[in-house]
């Protein structure tokens, strides 16, 4: 299998982002977005998905967190899709159920080439430490659409906003880890009857 890595630079009037990703890493991360909670969540994705992520982002924070969070999700999704390549030999689909104290998150993914996100975090209108809860949903949606993956993420039970958000990202990490793993019974074959998961 070819190295599944990508590097991306993106600059707009609102944000400036540099990113590198290795889908076959060891879970190392260096994330600096200016929001400690967002950094923490992306680090969970890295650590539990065994995906190396280096991400530096700056934005027009005087307008709030929206632009920076959205663009970080967009860039991570684009780099993920580039690193994945044609997806030959992978499982393609994965799911995980992850608890964190009183919270329970369920995530299912399909690296299908079709971007879609259905997210029920129960975080809208709440703060997750320094991050507005709706920004957790928006990051995940932006990531899924740009990665061209089908993402279903749901909090089944929970009270603490931090626990809910972290459980979601850990579950996403575990689901992606499974989806990205080589399938020895499908070595070298694209896991689709149409022969492609890139379009």
CATH numbers and ranges of domains, the chain: 5-186 (3.30.230.40)
pLDDT at 47: 98
106-135 pLDDT, tens digit per residue, is: 999 999 999 999 999 999 999 999 999 999
Note the pLDDT of residue 185. Answer: 85
Low-confidence ranges of the chain (pLDDT < 70): 1, 199
- Structure pTM? 0.95
Q: What is the pLDDT of residues 161-181, one digit of tens each?
A: 999 999 999 999 999 999 999
pLDDT reported for residue 1? 67
Instruction: Give whole-number Cα distances, 18 to 6, 21, 136, in Å.
Output: 11, 10, 20
Q: What are phi and psi of 133, to 5 degrees?
A: -60, -35
């Amino acid at each position: 299998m070819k190295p599944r890595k990508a590097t991306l630079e993106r600059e707009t009037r609102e944000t400036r982002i540099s990113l590198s990703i290795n889908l076959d890493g060891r879970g190392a991360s260096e994330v600096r977005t200016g929001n400690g909670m967002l950094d923490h969540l992306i680090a969970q994705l890295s650590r539990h998905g065994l995906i190396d992520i280096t991400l530096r982002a700056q934005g027009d924070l005087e307008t709030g967190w929206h632009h920076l969070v959205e663009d970080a999700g967009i860039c991570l999704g684009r780099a993920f899709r580039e690193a994945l390549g044609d997806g030959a030999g992978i499982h393609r689909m994965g799911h995980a159920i992850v608890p964190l104290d009183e919270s329970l998150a369920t995530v299912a993914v399909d690296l299908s080439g079709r971007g879609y996100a259905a997210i029920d975090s129960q975080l809208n209108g709440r703060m997750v430490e320094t991050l507005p809860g709706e920004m957790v949903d928006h990051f995940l949606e932006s990531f899924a659409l740009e990665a061209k993956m089908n993402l279903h993420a749901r909090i089944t039970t929970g009270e603490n906003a931090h626990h809910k958000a972290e459980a979601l990202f850990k579950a996403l990490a575990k689901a992606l880890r499974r989806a990205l793993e080589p399938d020895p019974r499908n070595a070298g074959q694209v896991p689709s009857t149409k022969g492609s998961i890139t379009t």
